[in-house]
Structure formats: C-alpha cells, structure tokens
Amino acid sequence: MSLINTFEASLLKLIFQNIGLADVGDATGLVPSTGAGNIYVSLHTVDPGDAAAAQDDDEATYTGYARQTAVRSASGWTVAGTAPTVCDNAAEINMGENTGSSQTVTDFGLGFAVSGTTTMYMKGTADLVVGVAVNPQFAIGALDVSLD
C-alpha cells in the first residue's frame, strides 16, 4: 500500500510549511501550529538508520558546527511534483565553517530542536568531507525529502 500523490503533498506541506491538512479526524482536520516554528538540519558522521533515537546520534562535532534553521513555511521549503512528491529546502543552508580538524559527514538529519538529545524525524545522505576552513552548505533544492 502507498500514499496517493495529493495526500503525500498535503502531509509534506503540514510538516514543512505548516499548512493544515483537511479531512483528517474531525471537521477541522490536522490544523497548523499557531507559530510555524523551525526544522533544524543536522550533520552526521554515520548513517543514523531508520531506528535513530536522537538527533545527536553520531552528530558532527567539528569546531564551528551547529544545527541550522529552516523555517516551516514556503520560504523555508518547497513541495512539488508527483510520483514522488518532493520537498526541498527553499533557501541555502550553511552549516558553519570548520575551524578545527577534518571530519567526514555521511548523512543529514531533520528535527525540531536546535541542540541536544531530541527526536530526529527524517534523514538523508550528505557525503561531505569537511576540511579545515570549509563551510559545508546545502544549495537551494539540495535536501530532497519524499515519502516514497
């Protein structure tokens, strides 16, 4: 069984753009948050796997690194296409310049907290070597999220 395209798009819009999802549950559906909030992008040195418990599992530790913010709105994320519907970052995301020693990053994570042992909701492949004086970035459209 799989989700139909319009429901995939609606679910991604709820998560990433804070747009309500009608016709789920009662008459109000799944309503958006009163404040849009943010999604925080993290870097990881090992694939966290689908059973990842926390966003800080194998999180990058190079000097200058910090999770970065992408607002839950159309200015932070785009949702488009069908089969699959894809959600992409709508703005460039800069992860912080490495001022320490080199570190290899294999994956990125998405969660709802700026730091700490918090829940990671989605993850994907990054494959970056973060050398000294390197500021890893995700260009507009580089973070692809789909439900397929």
What are 3-20's pLDDT values in tens digits?
888 889 999 999 999 999
Q: Which domain holds residue 62?
A: 5-146
Q: State the distance between the two ends of the chain, measured CA to CA, in whole angstroms.
A: 11
Quote the number of domains for the chain.
Answer: 1
The upper half-sphere exposure of residue 18, i.e. CA atoms within 13 Å in the direction of its Cβ, equals: 15
Provide the pLDDT for residue 22. 87
Residues 6 or more apart in contact with residue 126 via CB below 8 angstroms: 43, 44, 105, 106, 107, 108, 136
Provide the pLDDT for residue 106. 95
CA–CA separation, 58 vs 61, rounded Å? 9
pLDDT tens-digit readout, 17-34 = 999 988 888 778 888 888
Residue keyed to tokens 């490495």: 98
| Whole-structure pTM value | 0.90
Q: How confident is the model at residue 130 (pLDDT cuts 50, 70, 90)?
A: very high
pLDDT tens-digit readout, 72-100 = 999 999 999 887 889 999 999 999 999 99
Q: Which residues pair with 79 in a beta bridge?
A: 87
| Mean local confidence (pLDDT), 120-142 | 92
